[in-house]
Structure 1
Amino acid sequence: MDVKEDTSADWMIEEDVPANADQAGPAPALAPWRVLIVDDDVDVHVVTKFSLSNACFQGRRLSFLHAYSGDEALHILRTTPDVALVLLDVIMETSEAGLKVARQIRDDLHNHLVRIVLRTGQPGQALEHSIILDYDINDFWCKSDLTTRKLFTTVISSLRGYAGLVEADRHLAEVQSKLDNSVRFVLDEQGRIVELSAKAAALLGGTEESLRGRKLAASANPD
């Protein structure tokens, strides 16, 4: 990775500052984006952190977590659920350690929000195509090609995607919560309706008063 490339602030993304920001007083600091660097080479950690040290997206800076093996990476992801991006080396303790981590993140940890960018020092065209098709990753780079500017672009794009997914997931949870609350039953030990919502009563074809005390299985035909 080329660390000599210009890292001046002109290509960093900052949020627009309101005209009356000085009058409003200092705004509370926003939580940083958590970025997990997974690589068995300490120098890669140092260079990556240096290259992204001034990056800022949506008013939030970056906070770096470090893992030097697949097992360490999975442990961090299990205990730190708000990791937004994983910069993941392919070859670590084994030639496919990074690929196994990528698959475990999705299949075992069921984490479909975190963005995964694979990096390798030994690319092959056929292998790269196969990885992109077979693994749920978001980008794949050869380390020698991933300059400071390209790394920054990749990271910001990944954070933008993560933010969009988190917002969509939050909205879906709100909608599901409203649906759960609108169709609601409370049953006693014998399965009789103790309390129910108006929406639930309407679905069962009766009123709240007429359905209370009935067994749920028999309530669909209260007559």
Structure 2
Amino acid sequence: MPHYKVLIVDDSKTVHTELKSILSEINFESEDLEIEQAYGYEDFRKIFVPEKYALVMTDLVMEKDDSGIEVINHIRHICNDSRTRIVLMTANPEKIPPDLLTRDYDINAYIDKNKTSDFMTKLTVISMLKTYKDICSLEKAMTSLEKIVKEAPEMNLSELLINAFFQIRTFLSLRDSKLNITSEIFVNGERIFPPKNIRVENHYLPNQYNYKINIKHNAVKFSLYTSRDLKAFESAYVNSLLKNIESAFVQKEGFDVEDEFVLMISKLVEARSEETGEHVNRVSEIAKFLAQLSGHSSRDVKLIHGAAALHDIGKVGIPDYILNKPAKLDDKEFAIMKEHTLIGFELLRNSSLKIFQLGAVIALEHHERWDGTGYPYGLEGEQITLESRIVQIADVFEALTQDRCYRPPWPLEKAIEYMNDMKGKQFDPWLIELFNKHLREFVQIVQDKQDEEAN
């Protein structure tokens, strides 16, 4: 049975016929799409089931000029379905509500029926399915990670290690869906996975990586076989996960994942962007130092260091063509990009792990501004959590001083001038004063991280 379901909502039978013909030619992840149809908002409301569909493609003007907006509102705010991707289609762009680009509609793509081609429609649909798949994979990986970390001391050792392998495979596949990866797991020299009665043939995978830990006085050897070389940070992620499992058995009560491990997770997600997976390293280090200066305890500084790395995790739900566009985004593209704050919050908010709970707040608020002109909710001043204000300064300063796909890095003097021009506008004035007092150290953090990456 097809895994990817698409719901077309349009009052034109001709449009349904044309779209079905186009979508029938798409084969995604070796599966044909399953297509369902609704002929207006009321028809849609009768058949829609939350999180059943990978994609809903809705016309704007149907029974009413804003029927498409009613469809979107029903999905996002009545059903609280943040996973399903939504494409808004219209042949009447003049009827698009004027606040569409500024309000929290959470639309993931637009199709102008007057200008699109079959090819562009296919590209849009495939892009939406990719982001849907990535969001589902990340949600699954986060849930699995939390289960492993929180329940490790009570879990059967074999079950725990096998779950760890599937966790690793899911996370590494976020960056590279074509990566083929298998595993052999040994406890005290005896293979527990795959089961001993199954013949293992890993010779077709050219790369082998071995990791060793000790759990409850058991010597564990974790072997991975991969179709390509693992990047240094991918291998570091595997090692960090296994070390976190090892630590969970020792500490047991009140254990939370290490900030360095969260950094590895964030780099895996960030590497999907053409900016660089090292962005999270630099932002986390700047945020850590600013948190120290602002009087946070050493424990909270450590928490902020890790949670800061999660600020852009919602970009997993942003299409590649927007994420890596080598030019300024237009208004509609920017409206889609802004949704990464809400996506990140939704991905993390239900976690029982403190570092993810703080990460959810930072993901949501790191584009809010001191003067209230930010997004997604226009919070101002101290309505924005202090941790989010800290990460915003770290994020902006790092971004200005680094190369991006849409512009070269700014000269250091220009970046510092911008930070001060935005004091009391974009940034917390008190934090900018701390930034200025310790400017040399902040610059050194960026330069040191650049030197590390170059080496």
Of residues 90, 99, 103, the one that matches 2:69 is 99
**Residue 99 (structure 2) pairs with residue 146 (structure 1):** no
SS at the partner of 1:154? helix
Q: In the superposition, relative to structure 1, how do residues 31 and 201 fare at CA in structure 2: closer, same or farther (>3 Å)?
A: same
- Is the Cα contact below 8 Å between 2:75 and 2:81 reproduced in 1? yes
* Counterpart for residue 162 of structure 1: 132
CA offsets 1:2-60 (integer angstroms, 9 cap, x no match): xxxxxxxxxxxxxxxxxxxxxxxxxxxx7342110000111110010012221111211
Report SS of the residue matched to 2:33: strand
Distance of 1:70 and 1:182 partners within structure 2: 47
> What amino acid is aligned across from residue 82 of structure 1 in structure 2?
K
Do residues 133 (structure 1) and 81 (structure 2) align? no
- The answer as to whether partners of 1:34 and 1:85 remain within 8 angstroms in 2 is yes
Structure 2 segments unaligned to the other structure (5+ residues): 155-247, 256-455
**For 1:123-182, what per-residue CA distance to the aligned partner results, in whole angstroms no more than 9, with x for missing partners?**
039x47732332100111221112111110100010011000010111111123234435
The 8 Å contact of residues 103 and 136 in structure 1, kept in 2 or not, is answered as no
Separation (CA, whole Å) in 2 of partners of 1:72 and 1:199: 56
Q: Which has the higher contact order (CA 8 A, sep 6+)?
A: 1
Give the partner amino acid of 1:49: K
User: Could you say if the C-alpha distance between residues 140 and 114 of structure 1 is closer, same or farther in structure 2, counting changes exceeding 3 Å?
Assistant: same
Calculate percent identity across the aligned residue pairs.
27
**Quick one: structure 1 residues 98 and 87, their matched pair in 2 at CA, closer, same or farther if it must change by over 3 Å?**
same
Q: Tell me if 1:90 matches 2:33.
A: no
Q: Aligned equivalents of 1:72 and 1:183: distance in 2?
A: 50
Residue 111 in structure 1 maps to residue 111 in structure 2: no
Q: Structure 1 residues 178, 75: closer, same or farther in 2, change over 3 A?
A: farther
Q: Which amino acid aligns with 2:124?
A: T
Contact 1:74 1:105 in 2 (8 A): no
Determine the structure 2 residue equivalent to 1:61. 32
**Larger radius of gyration between Structure 1 and Structure 2:** 1
TM-score by length of 2: 0.33
CA deviation vs aligned residue, 1:64-119 (integer Å, no higher than 9, x gap): 000112133233332x6331111101111111111011022111111111110000
Whether the aligned pair in 1 keeps the contact of 2:111 and 2:121 (CA below 8 Å) is: no
Q: Measure the CA separation in 2 of the matches of 1:101 and 1:202.
A: 45
Following the alignment from structure 2 to structure 1, what is the Cα–Cα distance between the partners of residues 94 and 153? 54
> Counterpart in 2 of 1:121?
91
- Asked if structure 2 preserves the Cα contact closer than 8 Å seen for 1:182 and 1:200, the reply is no
Compare the two structures and name the one with the higher helix fraction: 2
Q: How large is the RMSD of aligned CA atoms in angstroms?
A: 2.6
Following the alignment from structure 1 to structure 2, what is the Cα–Cα distance between the partners of residues 74 and 177? 35
- Higher mean alpha-carbon deviation, 172-181 vs 131-140, is at 172-181
The amino acid across from 1:147 in the alignment is S
Cα distance change on mapping 1:90 and 1:181 into 2, 3 Å: same
Q: 1:176 to 1:74 in 2, by over 3 A?
A: farther
By percentage of residues, which structure has more strand? Answer: 1
Give distance in 1, aligned partners of 2:55 and 2:48. Answer: 10
Out of 171, 181, 184, the position equivalent to 2:141 is: 171
Distance 1:202 1:57 in 2: 44
CA distance in 2, matches of 1:54, 1:35: 13
User: Please, what TM-score do these two structures have when normalized by structure 1?
Assistant: 0.64
Q: Pick from 60, 71, 90: which aligns with 2:42? A: 71
Gaps of at least 5 residues in structure 1 are 1-29, 185-196, 205-223
The residue matched to 2:99 in structure 1 has which SS?
A: helix
Alpha-carbon distance change, 108 to 200 in structure 1, aligned in 2, over 3 angstroms: farther
Q: Where has structure 1 moved over 3 Å in runs of 4 or more?
A: 127-130, 197-204
